[in-house]
Chains A and B, each alone.
Chain A
Amino acid sequence: MDTQAAVKSSLARQAPSQAGPERQSCQARLGVVGGLSLLGATLVVAATALPAVMLVYGLGLGLFTAVVAPGAWRRLRHWRVALSFCLLIAGGWLFLDGVSAPWLELYVIPPGLSMGLLMAFRALLVLLAISIVAATVSVAEVAAALERCYLKGFGFALGVALNALPRVYQTARQAWTALQLRGGLRRRKLHTLRLMAITIITNVLGAADNIVAAALARGFNIRKYATPGIKVSRLDKWGLGAGIMAMVVAAWLHR
């Protein structure tokens, strides 16, 4: 696929107005607060909790994901993810034969395999939490959250970057075409590549004055710039509460 077309399709996917029904339903219910709370709680549970606690938490998270963000499960349906799980299980079975996972050793599972299964389950938990964040949190929400974290003007810089992307690709394509017309990379390859990099950077950064002038002409002032708010839905509060509770339980019943 053409790179610019890929970026355009990605941008279209990210744009709230053109988002699919699945993404819109996710955004309407779970936002950046809930998503990041669940991710933080999952990391804490995966790092500190007993396997039994992890299993209960995993079941809860799985059900929650199936109801709130089913798209997150679909994101994990990839051959690479499946292969990494298989490698973890097989690697544990083959190389960790003397090491056994606590709690799972009570059953008939061999020690190495139990350790491999535990590692794969941990990986599934963390990847699921990451997938929830990727499925529910949009770029605008991330930018708004960062603006709240003392990064004022970050949204503006991100907007500049998004608008500059097509220009970057156009400049790169023009520089590459000009380079090919002059013989391409036949001689002095490194020198030619360096000249091409200089051309692209100069052309892209050369537009800065025009962008600043346009922003100032539209009355943009960083000192008077209002930080966008973050929407906190009821489900975000539930996610935050569940995350805190999971962290407390994990810390209480730690390994």
Chain B
Amino acid sequence: MRNSTRWLVYVGLGGALWGAVEISLGAYLHSLHIPLRGLILSTIGITIALVTRCLVQQRGTIIATAAIAAILKMFSVGGVILSPMAAILIQGLLAELVTFRILQPSRIRLVLAGATATAWTFFHPFVGQGIIAGQGVYVMYLRVIEKGVRLLHLPPEAVIVVIILMLLIRAGAGAVGGYVAGQIVAAVRARLGPAAPA
């Protein structure tokens, strides 16, 4: 995109879409205590960022869109919001890294970018809690898992299978988001016609 003012406007609008989802849908999901709400928000957000990236075909779009959405997250009603802001930025960075080398990402690349970004939702709580409460939290989690396994008479391998399954569910949701992003891009281009960017 030659005109960088145009790029900034698209980044702003993409960030507004992601931010609006985080503020409005995020508030509803949190108030209703829906499970995997972080994954739902991340999947929708990263889909929007990938759509914006495909439309403007410029490197740095996803991370810039994520930065705007993270700042808009400051308007959310609630307590400490640094953790979700950091998660949005890291997810944007991961998706950006996957799509950085090419201007027009393929469908497979979009799926991979979505999966990589949403897989972070699995690791984020552990990293965040480790930063806040220190290494003692990890020891505590390990002991809780050990006691739980002993209590339920499960083999230790079952824990690993559960962890891999949880990771796959998260990555799978992002992959679906990436696939849907590809479909949405084609439809948006068809609807916008000559006004479509790039």
**Residues in A lying within 8 Å of B, measured CB to CB:** 1, 3, 6-7, 10-11, 14, 43, 46-47, 75-76, 78, 80-81, 88, 91-92, 95-96, 99, 115-116, 118-120, 122-123, 126-127, 130-131, 133-134, 139, 142-143, 146, 151, 153-154, 156-162, 164-165, 167-169, 172, 194, 197-198, 200-202, 204-209, 211-212, 215-216, 220-222
Contact = CB atoms under 8 A, between A and B. Distances in A.
Nearest to A216: B5
Interface in B167-198: 180, 183-184, 187-188, 191-192, 195, 197
B136 A139 contact: no
B133 interface: yes
Contacts of A118: 134, 136
A205 B192 contact: yes
Contact of B27 (A3, A11, A200): A3
Given A14-B74, A169-B24, A212-B5, A207 B13 contact: yes
A154 B67 contact: yes
Given A14-B75, A206-B195, A222 B136 contact: no
A11 B72 contact: no
B40 interface: no
B86 to A, nearest CB: 10
SS of A interface (majority): helix
Contacts of A208: 6, 9-10, 13, 197
Nearest to A79: B79
Interface of B: 3-6, 8-17, 19-20, 23-24, 27, 47-48, 51-52, 55, 64, 67-68, 71-72, 74-77, 79-82, 131-134, 136-137, 139-140, 143-144, 147, 180, 183-184, 187-188, 191-192, 195, 197
A1 B77 CA distance: 11
Given A157-B11, A168-B16, A126 B143 contact: no
Nearest to B63: A151
Given A96-B136, A126-B132, A202-B188, 6 more contacts: A118-B136, A123-B132, A201-B51, A205-B52, A208-B197, A215-B5
Contacts of B136: 92, 96, 99, 115-116, 118-119
A43 B12 CA distance: 31
Nearest to A168: B20
B64 A157 contact: yes
Nearest to B196: A205
A169 B20 contact: yes
Contacts of A80: 79
B13 A172 contact: no
B19 A161 contact: yes
8 contacts: A14-B74, A134-B74, A153-B8, A157-B11, A158-B68, A161-B72, A169-B24, A212-B6
A164 B17 CA distance: 8
- 7 nearest A-B residue pairs (beta carbon): A160-B12, A10-B75, A164-B16, A157-B12, A161-B16, A3-B24, A95-B143
Contacts of A162: 16, 72
Most chain A CB inside 10 Å of its own CB: which residue of B15, B23, B64, B75? B75
Nearest to B11: A157
A157 B75 CA distance: 17
Contacts of B81: 134
Given A3-B23, A88-B133, A119-B134, A204 B5 contact: no
A7 B75 contact: yes
A222 B75 contact: no
Contacts of B134: 46-47, 118-119, 122
A156 B81 CA distance: 23
Contacts of B13: 160-161, 164, 204-205, 207-208, 211
Contacts of A194: 180, 183-184
B79 to A, nearest CB: 5
Nearest to B130: A47
